[in-house]
Structure 1
Amino acid sequence: MVLPGMSSARVPPRIRILAAFAVSVAVAAFVAPKLQILLANPSALLLMRLIASEIVIGTFFGLLARFYLLALEFIISGIGMSIGYGGMLGASVDGFEMQSALTAFVSFSALLVLFTLDFHHLVIATLLGSYDVMPMDQFPSTRLLLVNLLDVLRESFIVALRLGSPFIGFAIIVNLTVGLINKLAVQIPIYFISLPAVLGLGLMVLYFAIPYLLSQFGQSFPSVFTLS
């Protein structure tokens, strides 16, 4: 429902159901002994509690990956505005909200990098490890989940700001320079004349920086995701 890539509206529901079923069967092989003991005397209340608990835990781990990708989309939108490439909003590749062409392109590339690095395997492995931290016979602590979610959210946006820091510096330097020149030549609309040059320089910086940006984004995912 919330995992980046698989939760996209462009993925058919049948594919998502089959993927969820495959993951459930794989996970069941590891938790079957504990589950058999717990369900020795099953009741409707116990089954409902187990279903609710698994939904909460699964949604929590999906949101961790979702927030990490949202942090990148946030900083890419800022990069687009800083280099003058905000432009008209268009359709998003992964979600329903409108995005600029630059944000859609970079976020889709980042999602492709995450899948190439098998981030879904890390999500499943972390989900398996959650049964040791949050046993099935207890409902997960909402306080613990919220604290971990906030920690991951904070670290995700720190990573995003680190990735976008060159463009923030670029925007500050360029805007100060253009503003100073505009003050020296008030009769000439320097701001409008400088737009093509600012856009060209910004795209050039982005051209050389985007491989390192995507590389750092993919390498930082395990450290941020395993904070929980």
Structure 2
Amino acid sequence: MMEILPELQSRLTELYWHGFAVFLRVAALSSLLPAFGERTVPMRIKLVIALMFTMIVAPAVPMIGQPADLIILGLLVLSETIIGLALGIAVRLFVLALQTAGSIAAQATSLAQILGGAAVEPIPAIGYVLVIAGLALAVMSGLHVQAAEYLIYSYEIFPVGEFPTASILAEWGIARIPHAFSLAFALAAPFVIISLIYNLTLGVINRAMPQLMVAFVGAPVITFGGLFLLFVCSPMLLQIWTDSLARFFANPMEIVR
């Protein structure tokens, strides 16, 4: 029995350092992960989520040994944290796309000031509705499974303890930003088109009947139209958003042009 203790202790030490190294990357990513990393989620719950993801990811990645000295340990902590944050920001941009789409839609339909401060971040009501619905749909579609696969795949792209190549990381990250804004504008396109038609119609009416206060007549129309368009188009818009998120998880290193 006593002969087994040193071997058991050595094995437990290896497992401890392996779990610690995986936790560094997982915790950094999960702090930015949609739904699981929101500001309204308590820190204790975030810690439990990070530990659960660590238990899922750790057995699927190669064993990470104990650092030889404090310098290597410091480099491990720094590199894994940077990689986790970079991976998390790439996913977080999809939430930014929904928020931006809601802001564009709200400005186009004169609904930008209704319940503007209801969320933790000051976004219009349309953006708040789209974000909450999108997060709920993403979780129902298996966001936790996709995030675990994303983390496991990241170890093939970014090995443990190695800083990611700056040129590759910069090219990949910069490509994600215009993709997020193009996705946001594509989601808000129906509202922008309706707003353009509305304003052109008001201009024609105003030219034909200058004595009519078209702004007072048209304001209820654009408000109702914006809400009705949100009711009709939101299922399709959220489906486009979740499909885009799923494509990212399927091929996270794709450089989108």
- TM-score, with normalisation over the residues of structure 2? 0.80
Query: Matched residues, percent identical?
Result: 26
- Correspondence for 1:46 among 64, 67, 72: 72
Taking a change above 3 Å as real, the CA distance of residues 57 and 82 of structure 1, as seen in their structure-2 partners, is same
Equivalences for 1:34-73 in 2 at 5 Å?
35-36=64-65, 39=66, 42-73=68-99
In the other structure, the counterpart of 1:107 is: 131
In the other structure, the counterpart of 2:22 is: none
User: What value does the CA root-mean-square deviation take over the aligned residues?
Assistant: 1.7
| Equivalent pair of 2:101/2:188 in contact (CA under 8 Å) | yes
In the other structure, the counterpart of 1:208 is: 232
Three-state SS of the structure 2 residue aligned to 1:103 is helix
Separation (CA, whole Å) in 2 of partners of 1:104 and 1:185: 38
Q: CA deviation at 1:30?
A: 2.5
Separation (CA, whole Å) in 2 of partners of 1:56 and 1:127: 14
Three-state SS of the structure 2 residue aligned to 1:99 is coil
Separation (CA, whole Å) in 2 of partners of 1:112 and 1:159: 19
Alignment gaps of 5+ in structure 1: none
What do the CA deviations read for 1:118-147 (whole angstroms, capped 9, x no partner)? 123222212211211221242112332222
In the other structure, the counterpart of 1:148 is: 172
Separation (CA, whole Å) in 1 of partners of 2:124 and 2:157: 40
| Equivalent pair of 1:79/1:164 in contact (CA under 8 Å) | yes
Structure number with greater CO (CA < 8 Å, separation at least 6) is: 1
In the other structure, the counterpart of 1:190 is: 214
Three-state SS of the structure 2 residue aligned to 1:121 is helix
Separation (CA, whole Å) in 2 of partners of 1:168 and 1:224: 26
Q: CA deviation at 1:204?
A: 1.8
Q: CA deviation at 1:160?
A: 2.2
In the other structure, the counterpart of 2:6 is: none
Count of residues in Structure 1 that have an aligned counterpart in Structure 2: 221
Amino acid at match of 1:7: G
Alignment gaps of 5+ in structure 2: 1-30
What do the CA deviations read for 1:75-121 (whole angstroms, capped 9, x no partner)? 111111212211241221xxx32122221111100111111111232
| Equivalent pair of 2:102/2:124 in contact (CA under 8 Å) | no
| Equivalent pair of 1:85/1:199 in contact (CA under 8 Å) | yes
- Correspondence for 1:90 among 104, 117, 125: 117
Separation (CA, whole Å) in 2 of partners of 1:224 and 1:180: 44
Structure 2 residue 152 is matched with structure 1 residue 128: yes
